[in-house]
Chains A and B, each alone.
Chain A
Amino acid sequence: MIKITNLQKFYRTEEVETVALNDLNIHVQEGEFVAVMGPSGCGKSTLLNIIGLLDDLDEGSYVFNNVEVAKFNERKRSDLRKHNIGFVFQSFNLIDELTVFENVELPLIYTNVPAAERKKRVEEVLEKVQIMHRRNHFPQQLSGGQQQRVAVARAVVNNPKLILADEPTGNLDSSNGNEVMNLLTELNEAGTTIVMVTHSEHDAKFSDRVIRMLDGQVIMETTTV
């Protein structure tokens, strides 16, 4: 599903050029659950952003579902993103002005799903993450674990092929963290490909494969199964 070859990514300021990702190669099969680990600043999040088409690469190739997307413009990326990729962030990133229901509904609005269909799908997914009873609450009224469940619901409501999770349990206590990991595992078992960046060895055990990075390069890959 994802095939990245010879990826180079630089960050430039006026005086220095920092290499964020250096000649990096990654393959992710459809249906895989991959964890990306490494110390702070090793380039994990940059990689995730590039996979999610939120950031562009400077050199190399990125084939997503057999299509070369490295040179896509913003509109095409946005299009591809909203139909294929769901995101889960460490800090949940829910919109404060929208209720739980509206937050989850948002991706469906952006993909022009009719209102009746939206309602059905949002309710389905809220049931699935067991937050239906809080559908009319605002994010600030929820606990961290509940907020992350909403974020996961929002990420999957469009039935994306790929979920990118950036330290999804980073702001949660262990029981809430486990709940979220179980949710991701369920999704993966249902066929969704997952790429997750994490610092937690415990969370990494939920994945099929762990990619370890250092200074912008992959240094080791291990299979956990």
Chain B
Amino acid sequence: MNTENIKTAWRRLKNNKFYTAVNVLGLAVSLAAAMLIILWVQDERSFDKFHHDHERIYKVSSHLVGDGTKNVWLGSPSPVANLARENTNVEIASRITYDGNATLRNDSTHLKVSNMRILHADEEFFSLFNFPLRSGQVNTLFQQPKNAFLTQSTAIKLYGDENVIGEIFHFDDEQFTVVGIIEDFPQNSSIKANVILPLSYYAQRFTEYGGNGNWKTIDEDLGNYGFYTYMKLSPTASSSDVTNFVNSAFLKARNGAHFVDFSLDRLEDLHLISADGNKSALHVVQVFSIIAILLLAIGAINYVNLSTARSMESAKGIGIRKVIGASKKQLFFLFSTETVVIFFTAILLAVALVFLCVPAYNEISGKSLSFALGNMQVWLFISTAIVVTLLLAAIYPALQLSSFHAISALKGQLGNHFSNQTLRKALVVFQFSISITLIISTLIIGKQLQYIREINLGYDREHVFTVPLPYEAVQHIDAIHQELASVSAIQSTSLSEFYNLMDYGNATGDIEWSGKPASSNIIVARARIDEKFIPLMGLEFVEGNNLSGLPADSAAFVVNEELVKQMGLQAPYVGTEMSLHNIPGKIIGVLKNFNFKSLKEEVSPIVLWTHAYSSTLYVKTSANKTEEAIAAVAKVYEKYPSDYVFKYNFLDSQFDDLYKSDNRTGLLFNIFSGIAIFISVLGLFALTTYAAQIRIKEIGIRKVLGADVLGIVHLLSKDFILLVLIAITIACPVAWYLMNEWLSSFSYRTSISISLFVSGGVIAVLLAYVTIGLRAMQAALANPVNSLRDE
């Protein structure tokens, strides 16, 4: 590449501003979109990979042994870590547990910070994981049960400063001393918290509160699956050997009672493949990677099509150069230079676009991505893409252009370039197949997301908000109900254990009834409610009645249809005796199934009962009165001072939170499909422009002979429209297959109807027709004398 070539290329590009703009813009947009996707994919793939030896770190999950029902818990009992340490292949084992929703209080300013996540870590935690300290020493944390580490941002929130070693804060009615500050947990860490306390504090509290049944210390408690156990295996260890070891040790500890099988999953894999084997997150990453490649392909195709289409214009120049004595090599470099100049400009523009779009992109994707110019992976991907594009886009036309016959070239003849045309058509079909697949997929994803939004969950979630009450308030719940009943903006209130009605995970296997088969191991969700809950939420009975609010409720169970089905009961169900956690009672009512878990799961069995303590206040208000209702509840809340701050949460927003990642995926998909379609249409626009240009004389002659505008538009568009139609027939089955796969991750899914494919096709044809029509119209309206005189 010499300066002569660059100069010539630059002038050629300048003289053909329209095509240059289409090429550069198409390439830049596709490169930028691909780079953004790669950043996202990179981030998704980077989870938990920042620890030393991350490939040897495993997490224990518990697979409950049930009859055919798959139930995976992410936690494991606390002694599992101790059992694992017996195995010589386990280098380090660590267990942690969390307290969510904690409120911290600054000892001197009394400032409260709520929504804090407390991590109780054992002494191995910092040798297993790399969470760097900003100040303090790891071992000081474990010297006293009431020592604490804060993350940098938590320290700033609570004290306004990070130099706070020795400061005191209150949590859980106890006083803690800050002995260290750690860096905020990385966004791509599955372990996240605001505060780290030594596990000894948790253990001490557990024992003080009486333990769990006969188990009085956390090292004995084989029944609480609320711990997370991690271990690093030796480089030569087989994870299945260790798994077997842990399983048999646990079986022995439980005296042969087989409730659970543990699995060891590589921690770095768990972000994309969940412990129950669900790979939908991985699939999303794969789909986005493919979209990145397709976007690059679409951008490259525009380039190839335009350069081969315009090769005729280059023909004269090549002919002259050949006559004067240019060698094939010299011509090849001349035309490659043009490509290099275009790509270089496109890359610069793409990088600028990426920097420009990253903030908005983070907003949409819910990540905190940043693009560094030194991000080698991105460049590796981009340069691979460019090399492939160059092979396709530059070398093909350049070779073709430099090898044809000088005389024909001088006459503007390229001979029979059948293959050239065929290639171009095939590429347009490919490009539009991708775009149409994306259009149809976008429609189906949109329909599914709407379906979920509008699905009948089995209750009315509108105008209902929840408020977690502290113990101090729950003690006076009757007074609270009474006071709120007098507020006109509030229709009804109820106290229940459903901290989140849409994603409720509190479940047990501890259910008995007469005639229960020995093989049965039903896992049943359980939630305490009061008699006002079912009417407030509008749950429907298929049989029996609601709780009464009288003492008799303590022996009453309300269950759902799924439970009686799994129990194998025959109607009438009411009156059936059963017990939960050895508390006996009777079924008094059977509810129609309702969704208390993500719609990605089928409805599972649930028991509602009144026994003992629950703490989430449900408030039903009505449209336009929500603020008044919230204010009234807040006022009552403040009457019972505690360490907690008032918080409310509408069921609608809980619902949106639950599908946030699906909605984000849907939105990203829309955006990238839009970009793909934009680039394809841009290419089609340029190709039509070109077609109109080379057929300008033909159009002139036809007009002189009497053709009308519509006829000319039809003449120019029919070839392209045919290509789009072929693309539709290719895209439909592909989209159908892909979307079927995606939908299969939902238990509740919309149907894929023919009308969506028809709409997708119609959109594509319309887009193509408008694009082509605009250009064709221009050509058709031109004065034929001008085009004929041109010769």
State A106–B7 Cα separation when bound (angstroms): 13
**CB <8 Å contact, B407 and A111:** no
Contacts of A83 in B (CB 8 A): 325
Stretch at the interface among B50-58, B314-322, B645-653: B314-322
Q: In A73-128, which residues have CB < 8 Å from any B CB?
A: 75, 78-79, 81-83, 87, 89, 93-98, 102, 106-107, 109-111
Partner of A54, one of B4, B15, B327, B406: B406
State A96–B315 Cα separation when bound (angstroms): 12
> Does residue A55 face the partner (Cβ distance < 8 Å to B)?
yes
Known: A49-B407, A54-B406, A54-B407. Contact between A97 and B11, CB under 8 A?
A: yes
**CB <8 Å contact, A97 and B326:** no
Known: A93-B316, A95-B317. Contact between A110 and B326, CB under 8 A?
A: yes
**CB <8 Å contact, A54 and B323:** yes
> Does residue A154 face the partner (Cβ distance < 8 Å to B)?
yes
State A54–B330 Cα separation when bound (angstroms): 18
Most buried by B among A55, A97, A109, A110: A97
**CB <8 Å contact, B325 and A82:** yes
Most buried by B among A98, A111, A154: A98
**CB <8 Å contact, B317 and A110:** no
**CB <8 Å contact, B407 and A107:** no
Chain A residues bordering chain B, tally (CB within 8 A): 25
> Does residue B380 face the partner (Cβ distance < 8 Å to A)?
no
> Does residue B373 face the partner (Cβ distance < 8 Å to A)?
no
Q: In B313-354, which residues have CB < 8 Å from any A CB?
A: 316-317, 319-327, 330
**CB <8 Å contact, B320 and A93:** yes
Q: Which residue of A lies closest to B14 (CB)?
A: A97
**CB <8 Å contact, A111 and B321:** no
> Does residue B92 face the partner (Cβ distance < 8 Å to A)?
no
State A38–B463 Cα separation when bound (angstroms): 96
Q: Which residue of B lies closest to A109 (CB)?
A: B4
Name the distance in Å between A225's Cβ and chain B's nearest Cβ.
30
State A89–B317 Cα separation when bound (angstroms): 14
> Does residue B12 face the partner (Cβ distance < 8 Å to A)?
yes
Contacts of B8 in A (CB 8 A): 95, 97-98
Q: In A126-168, which residues have CB < 8 Å from any B CB?
A: 154
**CB <8 Å contact, A78 and B325:** yes
> Does residue B555 face the partner (Cβ distance < 8 Å to A)?
no
**CB <8 Å contact, B325 and A95:** no
State A20–B401 Cα separation when bound (angstroms): 27
Query: What is the total of A-B residue contacts with beta carbons within 8 Å?
Result: 53
**CB <8 Å contact, B321 and A81:** no
Partner of B410, one of A82, A93, A95: A93
Name the distance in Å between A44's Cβ and chain B's nearest Cβ.
14
Contacts of A54 in B (CB 8 A): 323, 406-407
Contacts of B320 in A (CB 8 A): 93-95
Contacts of A79 in B (CB 8 A): 325
**CB <8 Å contact, B407 and A97:** no
Contacts of A82 in B (CB 8 A): 324-325
Partner of A111, one of B11, B323, B325: B325
Name the distance in Å between A75's Cβ and chain B's nearest Cβ.
8
State A47–B262 Cα separation when bound (angstroms): 89
State A35–B327 Cα separation when bound (angstroms): 30
Partner of B323, one of A75, A87, A98, A109: A87
State A164–B11 Cα separation when bound (angstroms): 30
State A81–B11 Cα separation when bound (angstroms): 28
State A95–B5 Cα separation when bound (angstroms): 13
Name the distance in Å between A127's Cβ and chain B's nearest Cβ.
21
Contacts of B327 in A (CB 8 A): 75, 78, 110
Known: A54-B406, A55-B407, A110-B330. Contact between A96 and B324, CB under 8 A?
A: no
Contacts of B316 in A (CB 8 A): 93
Q: Which residue of B lies closest to A107 (CB)?
A: B324
State A87–B15 Cα separation when bound (angstroms): 26
Question: Chain A, 196-216, contact with B by CB distance < 8 Å: what is the 0/1 string?
Answer: 000000000000000000000
Partner of A81, one of B15, B319, B323: B323
Contacts of B11 in A (CB 8 A): 97-98
State A96–B314 Cα separation when bound (angstroms): 11
Question: Chain B, 406-441, contact with A by CB distance < 8 Å: what is the 0/1 string?
Answer: 110010000000000000000000000000000000
State A89–B410 Cα separation when bound (angstroms): 10
Q: Which residue of B lies closest to A91 (CB)?
A: B410
State A87–B325 Cα separation when bound (angstroms): 11
Known: A93-B316, A97-B8, A98-B8. Contact between A106 and B407, CB under 8 A?
A: no
State A77–B168 Cα separation when bound (angstroms): 92
State A106–B407 Cα separation when bound (angstroms): 19
State A27–B330 Cα separation when bound (angstroms): 34
Q: In A170-206, which residues have CB < 8 Å from any B CB?
A: none
Name the distance in Å between A51's Cβ and chain B's nearest Cβ.
13
Q: In B277-331, which residues have CB < 8 Å from any A CB?
A: 316-317, 319-327, 330
Please give me the 8 A-B residue pairs with the lowest Cβ-Cβ distance, nearest first: A82-B325, A97-B11, A110-B325, A107-B324, A93-B320, A97-B12, A95-B317, A97-B8
Q: A54-B323, A95-B320, A96-B15 are in contact. List 18 more A-B contacts (CB 8 A).
A: A52-B323, A55-B407, A82-B324, A87-B323, A87-B324, A89-B410, A93-B316, A93-B323, A95-B321, A97-B11, A97-B317, A98-B8, A106-B324, A109-B4, A110-B324, A110-B327, A111-B325, A154-B324
11 residue pairs bridging A and B, Cβ less than 8 Å apart? A78-B325, A87-B324, A93-B316, A95-B320, A95-B321, A97-B15, A98-B8, A102-B4, A107-B324, A107-B325, A110-B326
